[in-house]
Chain A
């Protein structure tokens, strides 16, 4: 089974930077695109990063995505943390059969 593992939670003060990892259990994470979704309480997910490091229009450049082949992981970095960034974040990619897989999810708390 292809699993994407994320830290359960991260916390940081406003203005600081947080980085959320998404580690693949098998295969090469760099072989398939990774997306990142933000989900605020009571709302549907929205895309903050697609195709590893692309930002949809309207998403501030405080959000950035990257791939680290050496650790077989993807990362979402949020810089200049704001209270409105408090949400759950999920990575998403595809397994070897091109079936969708979501990460375990990370709760970001702005202290």
Chain B
């Protein structure tokens, strides 16, 4: 069974930093391009960032460009999102997801940015 498990969310003050992790089981992450997707409370899904299987291609949404950094460690079957200079509007559930083919999603981790 494929599982993606995110961790690292929590409460952080505006301007602070968090690092999210996503560990895969039942799936060899190195074979797949991966994404981070977020969902603000009561809102729709928003694509955040993409990383290719070899890390050679990376994209960011304009809303996070220059503040967030996506990375992966294929040896650890893991995906990461370093979030700096956090703002109130970054408050959301963050999902790691494979959006191609069948598609897989984690259960999400909640990030709350508030003073």
Contacts and interface: CB of A to CB of B under 8 A. Distances in A.
A80 interface: no
B103 A50 contact: yes
Interface in A30-75: 33, 35, 37, 39, 44-47, 50-51, 56
Contacts of B108: 44
A39 B37 CA distance: 14
Interface in B60-108: 61, 95, 97, 99-108
Contacts of B99: 35, 92, 100
Contact of B101 (A46, A51, A99): A51
Contacts of A51: 101
Interface stretch (A12-20, A21-29, A101-109): A101-109
Interface residues of B, number: 21
15 contacts: A37-B45, A47-B104, A50-B100, A50-B103, A56-B103, A90-B44, A92-B45, A92-B99, A99-B50, A100-B35, A100-B47, A100-B50, A101-B47, A103-B44, A104-B44
A26 to B, nearest CB: 16
A46 B45 CA distance: 12
A99 B59 contact: yes
A46 B44 contact: no
A97 interface: yes
Chain A interface, DSSP helix/strand/loop, else mixed = strand
Contacts of A44: 95, 105-108
A44 B44 CA distance: 12
Nearest to A101: B47
A98 B49 CA distance: 11
Nearest to B48: A100
Contacts of A33: 100
Interface string B40-62: 00001111001000000001010
Contacts of A46: 105
B59 A45 contact: no
Nearest to A103: B44
User: Counting chain A CB atoms within 10 Å of each CB, which of B35, B44, B59, B107 scores highest?
Assistant: B44
